[in-house]
Amino acid sequence: MIDLNDLRARPDAYKKAAKDKNITIDIDALLKLDDERKALIPGIEHARSLQNEANKLIPTLKGDEKQEQLKELKAKSLELKALEAELKNVEEPWKEMQLMLPSIPLDRVPVGKDDSENVEVFKWGDPSTALRVPADAAKDHITLGENLDMLDFKRAATVGGSRSYYLKGEGARLQQALMRYTMDHLHSKGWTLFCPPLMANFEAFMGTGFFPGADQNNIYSLDDGLYLIGTSEVTVCSYHRDEILKEEDLPKRYAGYSACFRREAGSYGKDTKGLYRVHQFEKVEQVVLCKADQEEAMKMFEEIRQNAEEVLQALKLPYRIIDVCTGDMGKGKVFMQDIETWMPSRGSYGETHSCSYLGDFQARRLNMRYEESGSGGAPVARRYVHTLNNTCIASPRILIPIMEIYQNADGSITVPEVLRPYMGGLERIEK
């Protein structure tokens, strides 16, 4: 959701944002509804005022005078109901269309139609020297995992269908080590850790921008008005819904650890084997609430992306950073970068992390504000916070580069040094 005053002031900028983000919305039609709504409201308020005055007057009257006023009151009531019905017919599409309005991307965001036009801006590590075995002798994570009894896809398919998996033995321990290492990494920096709800209502998904829209197709719906989260961003960001925070308490640095669930609608036939595209995974998500200051927000963006980079560097996994183009970033984001990690079996980088700045898009939907203080410390205004989020680690996808890059010639896997304390000092996974 965006500031309607800003939309009225520069509609062409929002038209361009919608076009660049591949979002279909008739902004002129929305502005027409907005004008109609504004024109109706004074008449409704006047009719309500007259009705209230009549309600106060009638008890003081008697006889014919009272009957006459009752007739007038009935007529005014019918007039008010007609105006309110007209307003409702205008407000319903007015509200629905607002939910589809895009944020305006920063000027530095590349304009492009889809992920093929994302732009690489940084690389760390050398994929050509990452493997510990000759490339022609390297096994993929599926073969490695099954040989070492870390993965079982066949049994998982009989239980959970396609894109299901069992992590077992050292595979399960390796994933838990990753999660614990990442949470300890963030905790050491002062981040507040969350184990948030795995289910959320429509309002939380709408508030974080996932509903309505194409993202809704990837969410599992339950029978009682709740939905399984595809990221803890939904429930952690909603933590302060309808609250007014203090400026001195910002920024809020939160990290949510949770299981996540995605239907992967629209990905039929893509990455059907292995751990790359699955329906269930675990993730540590960073969520930031900060002041409505773009410069400060972009500093927070660098901080949360750096936190994720530090995890990858500690794991010694080659990766690259890309600026996500307008057609791939979604309606609420004003700036977005992905981190892609080198995956030998794919012969390419694969997306493992995402980092987003959304301005006040989510805060307006969730009604999260803060009191801005004046020179004397007294509150002078209430403003919407700005929000950011970042994947600090997500598994099992990240197990692909770990298992493949750390494989040895004998089929064993060396445990990354930073994870060994979380696996009882284990140095190597072997038969």
Local confidence pLDDT in tens for the 431 residues of the chain: 799 999 999 999 999 999 999 999 999 999 999 999 999 999 999 888 877 777 777 777 677 777 776 777 778 788 888 999 999 999 999 999 999 999 999 999 999 999 999 999 999 999 999 999 999 999 999 999 999 999 999 999 999 999 999 999 999 999 999 999 999 999 999 999 999 999 999 999 999 999 998 889 999 999 899 999 999 999 999 999 999 999 999 999 999 999 999 998 656 666 778 999 999 999 999 999 999 999 999 999 999 999 999 999 999 999 999 999 999 999 999 999 999 999 999 999 999 999 999 999 999 999 999 999 877 777 789 999 999 999 999 999 999 999 999 999 999 999 999 999 999 999 999 99
The domain that holds 52 is classified in CATH as: 1.10.287.40
Task: Give residue 380's pLDDT.
Answer: 84
Domain assignment present for residue 39? The answer is: yes
Q: Does 428 participate in catalysis according to the annotation?
A: no
Task: Give residue 267's pLDDT.
Answer: 60
> 351, 371, 372, 430: which is the annotated catalytic residue?
351
**Cα angle 131-132-136, degrees, rounded to a multiple of 5:** 65
Q: Does 397 participate in catalysis according to the annotation?
A: yes
Pairing label, strands 369-373, 244-246: parallel
Q: What spatial distance separates the first Cα and last Cα of the chain, rounded to whole Å?
A: 54
> 354, 356, 364, 369: which is the annotated catalytic residue?
354
Q: What is the dihedral of CA 309, 112, 264, 396, to 10 degrees?
A: -20
The domain that holds 206 is classified in CATH as: 3.30.930.10
Do 394 and 361 sit in the same domain of this protein?
Answer: yes
Task: Give residue 268's pLDDT.
Answer: 60
Do 23 and 144 sit in the same domain of this protein?
Answer: no
CB 354 within 8 A of CB 372: no
Residue 246 phi/psi, 5-degree rounding, is: -95, 140
Do 139 and 264 sit in the same domain of this protein?
Answer: yes
Query: Can the peptide bond before residue 251 be classed as cis, meaning omega within 30 degrees of 0?
Result: yes
Q: Extract the tokens encoding 80.
A: 């008010």
Domain assignment present for residue 103? The answer is: no
pTM here is 0.92
> 173, 364, 365, 397: which is the annotated catalytic residue?
397
Task: Give residue 352's pLDDT.
Answer: 98
Give alpha helix (H) positions in 21-60. Answer: 27-57
Last residue of a domain, one of 52, 67, 98: 98
Domain assignment present for residue 129? The answer is: yes
Q: Does 354 participate in catalysis according to the annotation?
A: yes
Do 297 and 400 sit in the same domain of this protein?
Answer: yes
Q: Write out the residue range of the structural domain in which residue 282 sits.
A: 115-429
Task: Give residue 294's pLDDT.
Answer: 97
Do 255 and 139 sit in the same domain of this protein?
Answer: yes
Do 303 and 193 sit in the same domain of this protein?
Answer: yes
Render pLDDT for 12-52 as a digit per residue (tens, 0 to 9): 999 999 999 999 999 999 999 999 999 999 999 988 887 77
Do 253 and 357 sit in the same domain of this protein?
Answer: yes
Task: Give residue 233's pLDDT.
Answer: 98
Do 66 and 133 sit in the same domain of this protein?
Answer: no
> 37, 241, 277, 420: which is the annotated catalytic residue?
277
Task: Give residue 269's pLDDT.
Answer: 62
Give alpha helix (H) positions in 118-222. Answer: 141-147, 154-160, 170-187, 202-207
Task: Give residue 64's pLDDT.
Answer: 74
Domain assignment present for residue 107? The answer is: no
Q: How far apart are CA 137 and CA 221, in angstroms?
A: 44
